[in-house]
Structure 1
Amino acid sequence: MFQGSMVAMVTPMYEDGSLAYAELDALLEWHIAQGTDAIVAVGTTGESATLDFDEHCAVIAHVVRQVAGRIPVIAGTGANSTSEAIALTCCAQEAGADACLLVTPYYNKPTQEGLYRHFRAVAEAVAIPQLLYNVPGRTAVDLKPATVARLAEIDNIVGLKEATGDLERAKSLLDLCGERITLLSGDDATAMEFILLGGKGNISVTANIAPQAMHELCAAALQGDRECAQRLNQPLAPLHQALFVESNPIPVKWALHEMGRISAGIRLPLTPLSEPLRAGLCEAMRQAGIL
């Protein structure tokens, strides 16, 4: 059910920080028309850290209504408080999301046993299919393959977004539990190789501004067509890098604003893309055929 190019979607905002629901609807329709395989709502790229609880649940419900079953909707519902993660996951289930994406608890740095018990508690409390999300560069905690293998025994833990970009880690995960859960890349720069190794898709930042290209790239890699996948990835490679010249989602929101697709809003403590970095991102967008 969860494969291909899944966009880690931005949450559009006006310059005063209020949510721009009409722009969100337009983005969703564009993604569906361009072939995006699933929507990930209110994840890291969706500024989940700056939305309050009610806004978080409201955006998920809005996305589910607008998509209306045409492609899967995966709701970001992770938190560093287990009780809050359960509450957000309940909201997503009630809204009709197809699955939830739960990031490792950040800042409090739990042990591997703590991570196991956290994810098990959410899975036992809420029946919705759940995908784990490992991004140690942002959370300061690393969900180890052995812990993933333990969690893969739980029926409604169905996948993992692995965002380390470490292909040796990907091989280890595929060896340990590749048949039991869906393994997804969370790193655009290495996603092609991840899928060619046996992963099922990519939860992508780049897909925010190049949805059709990312869909075609993932489809080629899923078919095992390395030559075609490399040809499609080559013009996107500078973009994969340029979208992380400052903390995500700063660059990608600026790029979408340049494309005329969203307003310039982004919430503090995030700020608009620094002026000296804008020309480089524009050049990467040109190389990708976007500008």
Structure 2
Amino acid sequence: MRFEGIYTPIMTPFHDDGTINWDAYAEVIEWQIESGVDGIIVGGSTGEFYALSKEERLEQFRFAKERIAGRALFMAGVNDIRVDECLEITAAARDIGAEALLVAAPPYSLPSELELATHLLKIDRVAGLPIMLYNYPGRTGVEMGEDFLDRVGQSANICAIKESSGDHSRIRLLAREYPQIQLIAGGEDQVLEFYAWGAKAWVCASANIFPRECKAFHNICAMGGDFDRGRRIMSAFLPLMHALEQGGKFLQCIKYGAELQGHPGGMVRPPLSPMKKELRREMEEIIRTARTTVNAIIDEKE
């Protein structure tokens, strides 16, 4: 499988009592599809998978599969701290009808590269589906290094990697040394660099706020090769990207940003806490300015 376009790891809207707001979840899915995204990822960290029970996660898979109804690719995030739970969730995602999987290292255990490769290949054997690796050492504590990639890259199902390490040298390494594993933009503030190195897909948390704009940016830059406009769009997006990647309140900013677009995400589950008023005001200005500037660039006549 080749991934191309915008793949949104969608947020999970909650009611004030912390239960999933299924009506809002349906609206999120519809908004993404209507905005032209190419795939929807259910069960990513942006969806707070770690704060959901296994039953809630599987219900999300079933709900999303029915709502997406083939109008965009349905990708399931199957990570879990326990390997047996991860394999059970993988099998359930396969049976429910996921078309691809997003797989990171299990957090906290800090496996070696060989141990991590063995884990990924077990998931591969259970699922038999295209797998997008997710390299995020800041969350998992381990990197998907070259020994790991050499081993798992021999499987035809290990077909892409979302690179979220923040290390620019990894972008070059993956593009040059592992062309059989498709390079996917992961770091929100590095998307232009990924596109310069040939990435044709972006796992795009920002699309929870600006799905149409992110898709247009992708078409202009990655597909159209217009890096002049791409740099200008990225420059306008950077304050938002910085708030998401370096601000320390990633999920709160995502959900509040979506709320400002008319798609409330509700609370974040513990241990996270609500945004302070000062950050809310800052985000309002960042999003208002980004929306105005980015859309003006997108709407320019070529």
Normalised TM-score (structure 1): 0.94
Amino acid at match of 1:206: S
Deviations 1:183-241 (A, max 9, x none): 21111110121022112211111111011111111222322321121132222111111
What is the total number of aligned residue pairs between the two structures? 290
Q: Which runs of 5+ in 2 are unaligned?
A: 294-302
The residue that corresponds to 1:7 in the other structure is 8
The Cα of 1:83 is off from its aligned counterpart by: 1.9
Deviations 1:88-109 (A, max 9, x none): 1111111111101011111111
| % identity of equivalent residues | 28
Is the alpha carbon distance of 1:68 and 1:41 closer, same or farther for their aligned partners in structure 2, counting shifts above 3 Å?
Answer: same
The Cα of 1:18 is off from its aligned counterpart by: 0.6
The residue that corresponds to 1:191 in the other structure is 191
> Secondary structure in 1 aligned to 2:169?
helix
The Cα of 1:181 is off from its aligned counterpart by: 2.1
For the 8 Å contact 1:243–1:281, the answer to whether it is kept is: no
The Cα of 1:290 is off from its aligned counterpart by: 6.7
Is the alpha carbon distance of 1:234 and 1:12 closer, same or farther for their aligned partners in structure 2, counting shifts above 3 Å?
Answer: same
Q: Which one is further off, 9-18 or 191-200?
A: 191-200
The residue that corresponds to 2:276 in the other structure is 274
- Deviating beyond 3 angstroms after TM superposition, the runs of 4 or more aligned structure 1 residues are none
> Secondary structure in 1 aligned to 2:132?
strand
Amino acid at match of 2:164: A
The residue that corresponds to 1:75 in the other structure is 76
Is 1:66 aligned to residue 67 of structure 2?
A: yes
Instruction: After TM superposition, list the pairs within 5 Å mapping 1:1-291 onto structure 2.
Output: 1-178=2-179, 180-223=180-223, 224-244=225-245, 245-289=247-291
For the 8 Å contact 1:5–1:36, the answer to whether it is kept is: yes
For the 8 Å contact 2:131–2:158, the answer to whether it is kept is: yes
Normalised TM-score (structure 2): 0.91
Aligned-residue RMSD, C-alpha: 1.6
Q: Which one is further off, 280-289 or 216-225?
A: 216-225
For the 8 Å contact 1:192–1:218, the answer to whether it is kept is: no
> Secondary structure in 1 aligned to 2:11?
coil
Deviations 1:234-264 (A, max 9, x none): 2211111122422431211122233331252
